[in-house]
Chain A
Amino acid sequence: MTATRAQTLTCTGLRVATTGGREVLHGVDYAVAPGEILALVGESGSGKTTAALAALGHFRTGLECTGGSIAFHGHTETHDDLLTLPAATLRGVRGRLVSYVPQDPALSLNPVLRIGTQVAEVLEAHAYDGDTAARVREVLGDVGLPTDEAFLRRYPHQLSGGQQQRVGIAAAFACRPDVVVLDEPTTGLDVTTQDLVLDTVRDLVTRSGTAALYITHDLAVVAGLADRVAVMQAGEVVETGTVEQVVDAPEHPYTRQLIAAAPDLHRAVEKDVVPTGDGAGAPLLRVSGAGKRYGAKTVLDGVDLELWPGECLMLLGESGSGKTTLARGLSGLLELDSGELSLNGEPLATPRTYAQLRSVQYVFQSPFASLNPRRTIASSLEVPLRHLTDLEPDARRARVLDMLGQVRLDSSFAARYPGALSGGERQRAAIARALVTAPDVLVCDEVTSALDVSVQAAILDLLAQVRRDLGTAMLFVTHNIALAREVADRIAVLQGGRIVEQGPVADMLADPQHAYTRELLEHTPSMRVAG
C-alpha cells in the first residue's frame, strides 16, 4: 500500500475533552486509503474508540470535540470536515458513507427484528434507489451467509455469535460505504469463528475498495489482517507504520511492550518444570465419569481428569464445550449429576466441609461481576476468612493486607471500592480473595478474557509467581490455546462435554492428535505477519 494515494479519510490534530475539561485525545492524526485496513491498537482507556468514532462525527455522552478536523474524500462525495457538518447532514453520512460495526453483535442487533428487516433498515434509512430486497441478499451473500427466505426471516437469537457479527458487518456494508469503522468485532468470538469473520472483513474491504478502521487491543489479530497500524497510548498516536514495520521492528517502547504482552505459541518460554503425570505421586484432585445434563442437553459426558500437586492444567474448549460447568463442578459451585470427585484421595462430600471448600478455590471470569460493588476490597477479601477459618479479626486483617501485597496491590487499595479500580486491579483483588485461604487448588475460569492483552500478561505473570511461591496447583480454563506455552504444564481439550485429547504442552503443540486440536491451533492468530 502506498501513502501517496488519495486518502479516503484524513484525521488531523483531533482533540477531544470531557465536558469537565479533562482532555482525552491530545491531537490524533490518522489517514486511511481506499481498500486499506488501518488498525488502531491500544489498551482500554487509550482513546482508540473515541478517535475512531469521530470518523462518524460521533462523540459519546460527556465528550466534546475541542479541535482538529476530519476530511472525507469518497467515491461520490467529498466533505472538507466531517466535524463541522450540521446534524442533519451528518445523519445522512452515517451508515451511507461512513458505517460502523459494533463490538457485541448480541447487543447491537434488535432482538425483535428479523435479519432481512434488520439489514434492509439501513438501506431504507438512506433511501436506497434500487431493489432493496435484492441488495440485502447480495450483501448477506458477500459476508458468506445464506440468502434464502428462511434465513432472512430468522431472528438474531436463532443465529450463532459469528453469524450475528456477520449480519452486523453486512448491515455496515449494505450502502457501499467508503469508510467502515470496526470496533473489536471479534472480541466475543471463538478462534475459529474469529478467523472466519476476519477473512470476511479482509475480503470485503479488498473487493469493494472500502477504507477500514479496525479498533483492537490485540496485536496478534492485527498482524494477519491490517495493512497499517497506528498504536495509541493515553490519547496519542505513538507509532504509525505498515504492519511489517510495527510488528517486526517496533520503535516506540510502548509498542514493544504490547508485542511482548501478546501471547504467542511460537515463542519459547522459560519456566521451571513441574513433575506431573504418573511420576508425581498421587493426584491431588481426581474426577472420574463427571456428567451433567440440563434438561435434554448433555453438557458433560463422562469426563475423567487428574490434577497433580503443583501443576497447571489447561482446560481448553470453545464456548458451549462445558468447560465452565466442569470447573464449577470441581469447585463445588454446582452439583454434578454423576461422577466421583476426590481431593487428596478423600471423596469430596456434598455439601463440602469447610476444609474442602477452603482447599479448592475458584476465580471468576469477569472481575466486574465477581466483587460486590458495595464492599471495600478488604471487606471482600475477609469474607472467605470469616466463614471458612477460625482466625480472629486482627489476624484476618493482617492476612488480607499480606495477600494484597502478594498480588502487588498496595495497602491503599484495602479501603477502596471495586468501582474505583481498573479491570486488571479488580482481577488481582479477585485472585487475592481466592488465595486468601491458602487453597491447594486454584480454578481460574477464563480469568483474562475480560481483560486487555497487556493486562492479561501481567495477570499471567502474577499467577506464575503465585505458583512458584505457594505451590498451588492450578486448573486454567480458557478458550485461548495461545496462552498454553506461558501458562500450562499439561493441556486437556474439551469438546462437546468430552475430553478429546490430553497431554504435556510441548507434545500437544508439536503433534496434536485430534482433528479439533489441530483446527484450534491452525486458527490461532499469531504475531507473524501474513504473507
Chain B
Amino acid sequence: MSAPAVPAGLLRRTFRRRQARIGAVLTLVIVLIALLGPVLGPLLTGYGLDDFAGRPFRDDGIAGTDNLGRDVLTRFFAGGGPVLLYALAATAIGIVGGAVAGMLAGYSRGRLDSLIMRGGDVLLSFPQLVLALLAVAVLGSSGWLLVLVIGITHIPRVARVARQATLAVASQDYVLAARMYGVPRRRILTTEVLPNITGPLMVELGLRLTYSIGYVASLSFLGLGVQPPAADWGLQINENRIALSVAPWGVLLPVVAIAVLTVGTNMITDALAKESADTTGEVA
C-alpha cells in the first residue's frame, strides 16, 4: 500500500476504468452530433432543414431522401437535440425526486413511509406510456409537459430502489452514531445515507435515462411529442419506416444513434456503480 495522499474523488476514479472511458466517448459522439448538428448539417450536406433534395425515398445525397423528399442526413443532424434534452430533464426529475422520496420513506419508516410508498403504488399501477398519452390528450402536446409526465412517473420506481438501499444503510451503526451526535435528519440523509446508496442509484440512473430516451422517442413516433415539420429522431423513424427496405437510412441513422447513446450512458453509470461499491478509496 503506497503512502496515501488524499484519495481521488469518485468521478476521477470512475474514469480510470476503461469501461467508463469507452462509454464517455460513445456518449460524447452523440451529444456532439446533437449539439453541433443543426449548425454543421446544412454545411456538410448542402441542404437546409426544409429544402427538398429530390423525390421521396431516393438515394440522392449521402443518406437519401425522406418521405417528403428532404435530405435524411441534414434532418438527422438536426433531430438529436430535443430527444437528448427531454430525456435528460425527465431523468433528472425522476432520480432527484425518487431519491428524496425513497430516502425519506426508508429512513423515517412509519406513516410517512406508507404514505410515500402507497402513493407511489397508485402511480405505478398505470403504464408510463399510457399516463403520458393521457396527459397529452388532456393538456395538449408540449415538450415540457412530456418531460414532467415522464419524470414524475419515474419517481415511484426510483423511490423503491432508493428506499430498499436506505433500509440497509439506516440500520448501520454509523447512522446510529450520527444520531447519537445529534446530527439533524436532513444532514444524516445527505452525508451518511446518500453517499452509501450511490451504487444502486447510479444503476437506476442509467436505466431511467434509457427508458426516458425510449419514451421521448416513442411519443414523438406516436405523433404526441415533437410535431412535424420539426426535425426529431423519433419523428424521423415514424416518417420513414414505411420505406425501410427501400431507403433504410432514414430509420437506421436515428435508431443507431439512440442505441449508441443508451449503451454509452449505461457504461458510464455502470462503472460509477462499481466504483462506489469499492470503499477502500484505493485504485482497483
Contacts and interface: CB of A to CB of B under 8 A. Distances in A.
Contact of B281 (A372, A388, A419): A419
B280 A417 contact: yes
B182 A331 contact: no
Interface string A388-407: 10000000000000000000
B195 interface: yes
A370 B180 contact: no
Nearest to A420: B280
Nearest to B176: A333
Interface string A350-383: 0000100100001011100111111110001001
A52 B172 CA distance: 32
Contacts of A412: 3-4
B6 interface: yes
Contacts of B191: 372, 375
A366 B4 contact: no
Interface in B159-216: 172-174, 176-183, 191-192, 195-196
B46 interface: no
A384 interface: yes
B279 A373 contact: yes
B177 A415 contact: no
Contacts of A161: none
Interface string B242-274: 000000000000000000000000000000000
A388 B182 contact: yes
Interface string A416-432: 11111000000000000
B195 A420 contact: no
Nearest to A353: B182
A418 B172 contact: no
Given A366-B173, A369-B172, A420-B280, A332 B180 contact: yes
A374 B195 CA distance: 6
B7 interface: yes
A372 B174 contact: yes
Nearest to B198: A374
B1 interface: yes
A366 B195 CA distance: 20
B280 A364 contact: no
Contacts of B139: none
A297 interface: no
Contacts of B179: 333
A380 B173 CA distance: 13
Interface residues of A, number: 30
Contacts of A333: 176, 179-180
B282 interface: yes
Which residue, of B6, B178, B182, B195, has the highest number of chain A Cβ atoms within 10 A?
A: B182
Nearest to A366: B173
Nearest to B281: A417
Given A417-B280, A417-B281, A372 B181 contact: no
A376 B6 CA distance: 9
A387 interface: yes
A419 B278 CA distance: 8
B279 A383 contact: no
B181 A420 contact: no
Contacts of A362: 177, 180
Contacts of B172: 369-370
Contact of B177 (A364, A365, A374, A388): A364
Contacts of B282: 419-420
B5 interface: yes
Contact of A373 (B180, B182, B196): B196
Contacts of B182: 354, 357, 387-388
A388 B1 contact: no
Contacts of B176: 333, 364
A383 B178 contact: yes
A333 B175 CA distance: 11
Given A371-B174, A383-B178, A416 B195 contact: no
Contact of A416 (B4, B183, B196): B4
A357 B179 CA distance: 11
A496 B80 CA distance: 69
Contacts of B1: 420
A374 B181 contact: no
A246 to B, nearest CB: 32
A451 to B, nearest CB: 15
A93 B179 CA distance: 52
B178 to A, nearest CB: 6
Given A370-B177, A388-B182, A412-B4, A419 B280 contact: yes
Given A332-B180, A416-B4, A419-B279, 17 more contacts: A333-B176, A333-B180, A357-B181, A357-B182, A362-B180, A364-B176, A371-B174, A372-B196, A376-B7, A415-B4, A415-B5, A415-B7, A416-B281, A418-B279, A419-B278, A420-B1, A420-B280
Interface of A: 331-333, 354, 357, 362, 364-366, 369-376, 380, 383-384, 387-388, 412, 415-420, 433
Interface of B: 1, 3-7, 172-174, 176-183, 191-192, 195-196, 278-282
Give me the 5 closest cross-chain CB pairs, A-B, nearest first.
A419-B280, A374-B195, A373-B279, A417-B281, A419-B279
12 contacts: A332-B180, A365-B173, A370-B177, A383-B177, A383-B178, A387-B183, A388-B182, A412-B3, A415-B7, A417-B280, A417-B281, A420-B281
